[in-house]
């Protein structure tokens, strides 16, 4: 596999994949939440977000997080949100700079078992001893008969009696040598349980403890977690999708999408409602040694070309499915798969690719991204932003060479001298750049001088909405595009509605089905731009 020079691709190809990595509109600012016609229908296969970053607590490891199945309402019982047992979920790594995967990490989920077939809900339990029938229980069920099991406190064994719907999964890591794939790791017969949704405090009184039981150490330096969690993405998606109708009251100037210096520096509060607040998502997370991902199996300094990898995630379905002829039977599935969705950089397919080609993009592979070049030579999104604010936000003239570093192996992410490879939608990570402590972490990543943030990989806290909006309007092109107002574009949502975890799996566990709420207009959860005190969202 030889590196392919970017010179073999038209400038149009270069730019299209670039802006693919950098824009917001129509389903805008919602990462991968229902961005293509196919996944708007097949939501189980929809990849909402893809995160890859150097682990905070261990400089020798990388964490990868794949979120699927968007906008899960925590209260949606009684079956909630199992993973689809027919889907092949994969995390892929290119370590030879040719935009073709060299490592695949595969996750497969079982068909959920039904452990309490006579019970009307998937999860049930209360108290330490459960609930028995009262003295006036009608015949034929006598008083004192155990009716409700104890509250759910475990994924297996005692305390799991009320966990009726339970799902397991397997992990397999494959490595390519030439044209041959070989298995280098398998979870084998180890029972790995997916963490169920947070039903509520009566059924699951200590949900954080229950969810933590779903963190498994598999040996070889590998940790895994799968289950329903709080959606870590944050954005005023409602305003953005209404033809960039941002909320004037949330910002400091007459241009709604421009933040003041003080607002821009504020990383822990919002000046507009977070449209994703209170929703859950299904996550698959793995932490593993960097040495398992580099081409030569070693750790490398940030200045070494071998330190940088390119990554993306995919979901695939069997090519052929035959429905069962008997009620309750299992369908027959072929062992050959068709890719349904992929994601590398955030905010690409939904922001740049035309609707007529979105499914084609979803089902293609990064090494063939030159076919989408016509969408980027003169990016429509940049022109929409420029027009929406009557020219107040200037944009560079095409061709947009300022965006080239986002879609090739190039500085400031990859070290100087790294083969650039073909233009491709890959989330690239320099594994030699150490993680930044929480106090020094910046939501704007590289744009704010934080070398461990997007687009050098992507952490759960990175504000990809604001970052990509600024990139698309030319902040990398130099004056006059690198200054005000281009460097203050934002949606006013600067942080998630709940704090992230500082240890694996980093995402916050699921919102309560009984007690959760959504942060919409007219609800608390925003901050006054002047006083920085809590107020109702505009």
Within a domain: residue 286? yes
How far apart, in whole angstroms, are the C-alpha atoms of residue 514 and residue 531? Answer: 33
Least confident of 48-52, 171-175, 219-223, 254-258: 254-258
Residue 36: band (very low, low, confident or very high) from pLDDT cuts 50, 70, 90: low
In-domain check, residue 491: yes
**DSSP letter string, 233-252:** ----HHHHHTTS---GGGSS
Q: Please state, in angstroms and rounded to a whole number, the distance separating the CA atoms of residues 244 and 475.
A: 19
Higher pLDDT, 531 or 82: 82
For 453-498, what is each residue's pLDDT tens digit? 999 999 999 999 999 889 989 999 999 999 999 999 999 999 999 9
State the DSSP code for 270: B
Domain region containing 152: 113-129+145-162
pLDDT at 308: 98
Query: Does residue 250 surpass a pLDDT of 60?
Result: yes
Angle at 232 (CA atoms; ends 231, 235), nearest 5 degrees: 95
Higher pLDDT pick, 15 / 335: 335
- Does position 56 have pLDDT exceeding 90, yes or no? yes
152 and 31 in one domain? no
pLDDT of the residue at 419: 96
Looking at the domain assignment, is residue 476 inside a domain?
yes
Whether pLDDT at 35 is above 70 = no
Same domain (yes/no): 123, 57 = no
124 within some domain: yes
The reported pTM is: 0.91
Residues 367 and 515 in one domain: yes
pLDDT band, very low/low/confident/very high, at 38 (cuts 50, 70, 90): confident
pLDDT of residue 462: 97
Say if residue 121 is in the same domain as residue 230.
no
Same domain flag for 124 and 205: no
Q: Output the CA torsion sign for 374, 375, 377, 378.
A: positive
Q: Per-residue confidence at 31, pLDDT binned at 50, 70, 90?
A: low
Q: Is residue 52 part of a domain?
A: yes
Q: Which of 43, 25, 23 is nearest to 33 (CA)?
A: 43
User: Are 125 and 221 part of one and the same domain?
Assistant: no
Whole-number Å distance between alpha carbons of 26 and 17:
18
At a CB cut-off of 8 Å and minimum separation 6, what does 74 contact? 197, 198, 278, 279, 280, 510, 511, 512, 513, 516
Inform me whether the pLDDT recorded for 284 exceeds 50: yes
- Can you tell me the distance from the alpha carbon of 335 to that of 320, in angstroms, rounded to the nearest whole number? 8
- Token pair, residue 40, equals 């708007």
Going through 18-83 in order, the beta strands assigned E by DSSP cover 47-54, 61-72
61 and 119 belong to one structural domain: no
Q: Of 144-158, 264-278, 312-326, give the range with the top mean pLDDT.
A: 144-158
Mean pLDDT for the stretch of residues 14-34 = 40
Of 134-143, 268-277, 447-456, the poorest mean pLDDT is in 268-277
Extended beta strands in 397-483, E state: 427-430
**Residue 335 falls inside a structural domain:** yes
The pLDDT of residue 511: 97
Give the residue-averaged pLDDT of 405-411: 87
Q: Evaluate whether 242 touches 469 at the Cβ level (below 8 Å).
A: no
Flag whether pLDDT at 9 surpasses 50: no
Helix (H) or strand (E) holding 109: strand 103-109
Confidence of residue 240 (pLDDT cuts 50, 70, 90): confident
The answer to whether residue 136 sits within a structural domain is no
The least confident of 6-10, 107-111, 136-140, 290-294 is 6-10
Sign of the torsion formed by the C-alpha atoms of 448, 453, 457 and 462: negative
Q: What is the pLDDT of residue 388?
A: 86
* End-to-end Cα spacing for the chain: 53
Q: What is the pLDDT of residue 331?
A: 86
Separation between Cα atoms, residue 289 and residue 298, nearest integer Å: 10
* Two tokens, residue 171: 């992990």
Residues 154 and 97 in one domain: no
For the packed helices 464-472 and 380-388, what is the interaxial angle rounded to 10 degrees?
90
Question: How many structural domains does the chain have?
Answer: 2
DSSP three-state, residue 115: coil
Q: For Cα atoms 248, 249, 254, give the angle at the middle one, nearest 5 degrees.
A: 45
* Model confidence pLDDT, tens digit, residues 286-344: 999 999 999 999 999 999 999 999 999 999 999 999 888 888 788 888 899 999 999 99
Statement: residue 25 has pLDDT above 70: no
Distance CA 265, CA 440 (A): 12
Q: For residues 110 and 210, what is the distance between their CA atoms, to the nearest angstrom?
A: 20
> Are residues 284 and 158 both part of a single domain?
no
Whether residue 83 is found in the same domain as residue 41:
yes
**pLDDT for 377:** 63
The pLDDT of residue 379 is above 80: no
Helices and strands, counts by H and E, the chain: 8, 21
pLDDT tens digits, 170-225: 999 999 999 999 999 999 888 999 999 999 999 999 999 999 999 999 999 999 99
Q: Average pLDDT for residues 407-420, to the nearest whole number? A: 93
pLDDT at 235: 93
Answer yes or no: are the C-beta atoms of 62 and 288 closer than 8 Å.
Answer: yes
CA–CA gap between residue 309 and residue 294 (Å, rounded) = 7
Query: Alpha-carbon distance 44 to 42, whole Å?
Result: 6
Task: Give CA–CA dist 347/19, Å, rounded.
Answer: 9
Structure tokens at 300: 């490398």
Asked whether the predicted pLDDT for residue 26 surpasses 50, the reply is: no
Question: Residue 400 pLDDT more than 70?
Answer: yes
Asked whether residue 393 is domain-assigned, the answer is yes
Query: How many Å apart are CA 80 and CA 94, to the nearest integer?
Result: 35
C-alpha torsion sign, points 474, 480, 485, 488 = positive
Q: 250 and 118: one domain?
A: no
Q: Are residues 197 and 305 in the same domain?
A: yes
Please provide the average confidence, as pLDDT, over all residues in the chain: 89
Distances (CA, A) of 103 to 95, 256, 297, 336: 8, 44, 12, 19
Question: pLDDT, tens digit, for every residue of 357-374?
Answer: 888 888 999 999 888 776
201 with 209: CB under 8 angstroms? no
Helix (H, G, I), strand (E, B) or coil at 287: strand
What is the mean predicted confidence (pLDDT) over 394-413?
Answer: 87
How far, in Å, CA of 320 to CA of 46, rounded? 20
């Amino acid at each position: 596999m030889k590196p392919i020079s970017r010179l073999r691709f038209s400038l149009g190809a270069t730019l299209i994949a670039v802006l693919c990595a950098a824009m917001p509109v129509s389903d805008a600012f919602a990462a991968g939440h229902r961005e293509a016609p196919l996944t708007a229908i097949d939501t189980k296969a929809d990849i909402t977000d893809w995160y890859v970053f150097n682990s905070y607590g261990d400089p020798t490891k990388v964490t990868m997080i794949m979120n699927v199945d968007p906008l899960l309402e925590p209260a949606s019982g009684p079956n909630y949100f199992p993973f689809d047992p027919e889907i092949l979920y994969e995390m892929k790594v290119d370590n030879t700079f040719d935009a073709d995967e060299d490592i695949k990490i595969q996750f497969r989920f079982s068909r959920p078992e039904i452990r309490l077939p006579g019970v009307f809900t998937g999860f049930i339990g209360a108290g330490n001893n459960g609930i028995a029938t009262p003295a006036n229980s009608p015949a034929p069920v006598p008083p004192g008969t155990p009716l409700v099991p104890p509250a759910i406190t475990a994924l297996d064994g005692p305390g799991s009696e009320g966990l009726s719907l339970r799902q397991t999964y397997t992990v397999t890591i494959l490595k390519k040598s030439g044209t041959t794939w070989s298995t280098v790791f398998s979870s084998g017969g180890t029972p790995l349980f997916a963490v169920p949704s947070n039903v509520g405090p009566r059924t699951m009184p200590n949900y954080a403890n229950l969810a933590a039981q779903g963190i498994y150490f598999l040996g070889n330096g590998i940790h895994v977690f799968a289950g329903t969690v709080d959606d870590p993405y944050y954005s005023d998606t409602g305003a953005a999708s209404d033809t960039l109708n941002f909320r004037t009251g949330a910002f400091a100037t007459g241009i709604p999408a421009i933040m003041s210096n003080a607002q821009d520096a504020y990383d822990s509060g919002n000046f507009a409602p977070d449209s994703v607040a209170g929703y859950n998502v299904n996550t698959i997370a793995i932490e593993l040694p960097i040495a398992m991902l580099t081409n030569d199996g070693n750790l490398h300094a940030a200045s070494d070309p071998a330190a940088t990898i390119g990554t993306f995630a995919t979901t695939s379905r069997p090519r052929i499915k035959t429905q069962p002829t008997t009620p309750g039977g299992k369908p027959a599935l072929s062992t050959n798969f068709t890719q349904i969705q992929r994601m590398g950089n955030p905010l690409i397919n939904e922001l740049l690719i035309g609707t007529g080609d979105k499914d084609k993009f979803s089902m293609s592979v990064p090494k063939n991204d030159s076919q989408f070049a016509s969408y980027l030579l003169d990016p429509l999104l940049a022109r929409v932003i420029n027009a929406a604010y009557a020219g107040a936000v200037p944009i560079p003239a095409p061709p947009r060479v300022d965006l080239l570093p986002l879609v090739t192996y190039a500085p400031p992410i990859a070290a100087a001298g790294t083969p650039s490879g073909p233009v491709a939608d890959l989330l690239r990570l320099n594994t030699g750049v150490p993680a930044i402590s929480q106090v020094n972490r910046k939501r704007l990543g590289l744009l704010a001088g934080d070398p461990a943030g997007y687009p050098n990989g992507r952490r759960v806290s990175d504000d990809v909405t604001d970052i990509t909006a600024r990139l698309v309007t030319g902040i990398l092109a130099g004056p006059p595009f690198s200054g005000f107002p281009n460097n203050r574009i934002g949606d006013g949502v600067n942080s998630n509605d709940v704090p992230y975890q500082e240890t694996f799996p980093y995402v916050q566990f699921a919102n309560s089905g009984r007690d959760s709420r959504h942060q919409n207009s007219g609800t608390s959860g925003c901050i006054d731009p002047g006083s920085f005190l809590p107020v109702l969202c505009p």
